[in-house]
Structure 1
């Protein structure tokens, strides 16, 4: 049985899902877990330290049985910059701010002049697409600094949109949106 399958089975057996499995130099085995999501169910509760501890204990036994060599096991939640890999992840976080990196740069004529040549990175709101399953909507306007006055006459920033398919992506993550004034971000309200 493969390492991926062993870890996935152990995590699923505890009612959780495997988000990411990473094996690093020095013998570190990093496992990222989350609660399963379905569109017709209420938003799942966040992962707790107790969840990580249960998975760690379960994996220690499962990895020992499978004779997997590792020096250190690290189990954690996906965090505020959670990776998005599957269509279900994109469905779950529809309307959220995301960071995407394309496999191939887009720009010039292909983007009808909306995107600088050779651009691969975008941050914007995830929406359903028209020409492809998904769309990212963004503005390249520079955000005002805290305390800076913004003129009411300032023109509204131009909004851009690009449709994409999952096979065009190199990487996708939730954009870490943090408000240090004590207000919750929309991602934390899930």
Structure 2
């Protein structure tokens, strides 16, 4: 059910985003408490504003009403992914080289399964992340398929 909803939503929202030069970051359809939420995260270089989110919300809402892929009540929420944007595709990793990232892996590499560090490079489907262990720095080579979850991480210097 959830996959069907997200794939239909993606088909409906993509032309709207293309027209507005916006990028689809992620779609979530999940239950929180008693309510279902359909969340669409959009972005563009420099970030999206509340007005753009509102326009996409309105246009997508019309399309969803026409197609009616969801047979229950839900809340539609279109927003920016924020500072801790998820990194889902290889293109995302290429785009954010040099940024501070958080990663969670399916299996440990050099004893590390969850870490934060600087994304040094991404090529040949491998991310190189520099992490700090106490006072020394260490580079981990992480194959793309071993990454369970990754997002930009906010640093406080």
So what's the TM-score if we normalise by structure 1? 0.70
Query: Which residue, out of 31, 43, 47, partners 2:40?
Result: 31
Partner of 1:47: 48
Q: How many corresponding residue pairs?
A: 146
Shift in Å at residue 63 of structure 1?
0.6
Q: Going by fraction, where is strand more abundant, 1 or 2? A: 2
1:178 is displaced (CA, Å) by: 4.5
Aligned to 2:3: none
Cα deviation 1:127-168 (Å, max 9, x = unaligned): 126886320001122xxxxxxxxxxxxxxx111111112111
Q: Alpha-carbon deviation of 1:68?
A: 2.9
* Separation of aligned partners in 2, 1:164 and 1:78: 24
Aligned equivalent of 2:148, options 170, 181, 184: 170
Matched, 1:9 2:9: no
Q: Tell me by how many angstroms 1:64 deviates.
A: 0.8
Structure 1: gaps spanning 5 or more residues: 36-43, 112-116, 142-156, 180-190
Distance change (3 Å), C-alpha of 1:132 and 1:24? closer
CA contact (8 A) 1:47 1:77 kept: yes
Consecutive aligned runs of 4 or more in structure 1 exceeding 4 Å deviation: 129-132
* Partner SS, residue 94 of structure 2: helix
CA–CA distance in structure 1, aligned partners of residues 125 and 20 of structure 2: 36
RMSD: 2.0
